[in-house]
Chains A and B, each alone.
Chain A
Amino acid sequence: DIQMTQSPSTLSASVGDRVTITCRASQSISSWLAWYQQKPGRAPKLLIDKASSLETGVPSRFSGSGSGTEFTLTISSLQPDDFATYYCQQYKSYSLTFGGGTKVEIK
């Protein structure tokens, strides 16, 4: 299986901050990477697919970049609704795997 490692595991930030989350794959996955946002008690919400393609309805303050083994999710100006846990997911090969998550907390 391809292992996905996210960092940091927890991030404390303030409204208006620029936030960057990193996801590393144990082998190249080209651009076959998705990002999700999850709030407590809710299913994950898809934000980005193919590493940088923003889903319809997702605010433009979210962006994704990277290819190969290193990827980033950036929130350009953190908003109150953005405090949540974020997961990356590779879909280059089976078994599909997710990163361990990054919890974005209020500083």
Chain B
Amino acid sequence: QVQLQQWGAGLLKPSETLSLTCAVYGGSFSGYYWSWIRQPPGKGLEWIGEINRGGDTNYNPSLKSRVTISVDTSKNQFSLRLSSVTAADTAVYYCARGVASGSFYHYWGQGTLVTASS
């Protein structure tokens, strides 16, 4: 049974850097793409980016200048950093497993609400 468990700081001040980590339990870490997706309160879903075991990444162009997704294969974990946050970055952030690069998502983390407020 594949499980994604995520954690990270939930309250940030504007201009700070958001940092979240997602650990993968069960199943293989190889052969998949690992993504971050966010959802502002009461709104729809926005794809942030993805990474594979080898460190190949793809990012949403609208966030690319502020986003870094990294992977730690020794721990079966991947992480998201989003710099210079503003109130517009307030959202529930999800990690998810894609079956391939740029695909759909069977498995999701539980979500982490990140609030950017002074």
Contacts and interface: CB of A to CB of B under 8 A. Distances in A.
Interface of A: 1, 34, 42-44, 46, 49, 55, 87, 89, 91, 93-101
B106 A96 contact: no
A44 B96 CA distance: 10
Interface of B: 44-47, 58, 60-62, 94, 96, 102-106, 108-111
B102 A91 contact: yes
Contacts, number: 43
A95 B61 CA distance: 7
Contact of B111 (A43, A55, A98, A101): A43
Contacts of B58: 94
The 4 A-B pairs with the shortest beta carbon distances in the complex, nearest first, are A43-B108, A34-B104, A96-B47, A98-B45
A43 B112 CA distance: 10
A96 B102 CA distance: 7
Secondary structure at the A interface, as helix, strand, loop or mixed, is loop
Contact of B108 (A44, A91, A95): A44
Contacts of A46: 104-106
Contacts of A34: 104-105
B47 A97 contact: yes
